[in-house]
Structure formats: structure tokens, C-alpha cells
Amino acid sequence: MPACIKAVIPFFWPMEFCCMFSLFVFSVYLLIVISLLWGRLRFFKVNAGTPTLAAWMYDLAVAVQMILTAYYFFSVTDVTKLMLGICLLLYLFSLVLFWWAIFTAKSLDFAFSNHVGSIVTTGPFGLFRHPFYVSYIVAWSGSTLLFNTPLLWITLIYLVAFYTLSARKEERLILKSTQAEQYQHYQQHVGMFLPRIKKWKQLNSKH
């Protein structure tokens, strides 16, 4: 069983429960990894407008997050049960948001693409303008908060900066396209990474 769980489960809980809880948390993490890899390889389209270096640097930072988190699950022994529970909630939120966005969007371009596709404003896109980026940030934040190591913090900061710059570049392109007026209205009602609940209800009540 992952070493981190041994330190956070109260002494009076049965060992069988400890093993089940440990496997569940790690299984959710593996589902996130598999989902993100599938999205990167099969869902998001990398076109000529996507800088190769940016794509490779992003993949490297994600790989560091994924590999270190898996390693820490089996080696770190000083996390608290509170942080483990918070991490689990963040993982579940990330996973649900990712697949909700997948089924809503159908197909999207990879980050820093110069291609302007159709504007999606329903489902999770009515809560966040960039729900995929929110899903990623939440997942990496869960691992980083749980294990609290310098390498995880460094990659988290890099990835948040990457998602922010990518989102802004994508939006600048849209605002220069024929869909500018529609997107400006969308920006006024929906936050980039944080939801605006009242405006989300107003926007979705029109669909």
C-alpha cells in the first residue's frame, strides 16, 4: 500500500479499510493521468500554429508532476489525513470537470494554437472560459499541496503560468476574429478560471 497512507490513517481503523482507501486515492490519480494522456494524444489537435518548443516544455512539466506524484505516493510518510482528504476531493473535481468538458466540447486545439474554432459556452464552459485548464490546475495543486516538495511547486507554478499565457493568447485571437462580439459578451459573464455563479445561471437560462 502507498507509504503515505500508513501515516495518516488513525490507529483504530481496520487495516482492510486503510488498504481500500489507499488504493482508491491512488486509483483516482491514475484515472486522471490516463485521462490527460488520452486527451493530449487523441482529443486535442496540435496544428502548425502550435510552437513545438512550447508543447515539449509543457509535456516535460506534466511528466515531472505525474512521475513525482506517483513516486511520492509510495515513499512519503508524513502527510496528514486532512491533506489526503482535500487532495482526493481535488482529484475527483478535476476528473469530473475534465470529462464534462470533453463531452461538451467534442474537439479542441492544443494550447497556443493559432486556429480559431467554434465558441462553446454551455456546460462547464458556462462556469469557466477554460475548464480544461482549471481541471489541470486543480489536479496539479492537489498533488503539490499533499506532498509539498520544491519540484512539485516549481512545476505547478510553471504550468499555471503556461495555462494563463495560453488562455490569454487564445482569447486575443478570438477577439480579432469574426466571433469577437460574441466572445466579448461571453467574457463579461464567465470568468477565465473562477466561476461567476449568478452570471452563469443567467447565461445558461438563455440556452
Q: pTM for this one?
A: 0.81
The CATH number of the structural domain formed by 3-204 is 1.20.120.1630
Q: For residues 66, 60, 124 and 99, what is the CA-based torsion angle, rounded to 10 degrees?
A: -50
What pLDDT is recorded for position 46? 56
Of 74, 192, 193, 104, the C-alpha closest to 141 is: 193
In the chain, where the domains are located: 3-204
Whose grid coordinates read 490546475? Answer: 137
For the four alpha carbons of 32, 95, 84 and 192, in that order, the dihedral sign comes to positive
Q: How far apart are the first and last CA of the chain?
A: 48
Ordered mean pLDDT values, 10 residues apiece, the chain (207 residues): 50 51 84 90 63 80 94 81 89 96 70 56 88 96 94 96 91 85 87 73 54
Of 177, 207, 203, 170, the C-alpha closest to 50 is: 170
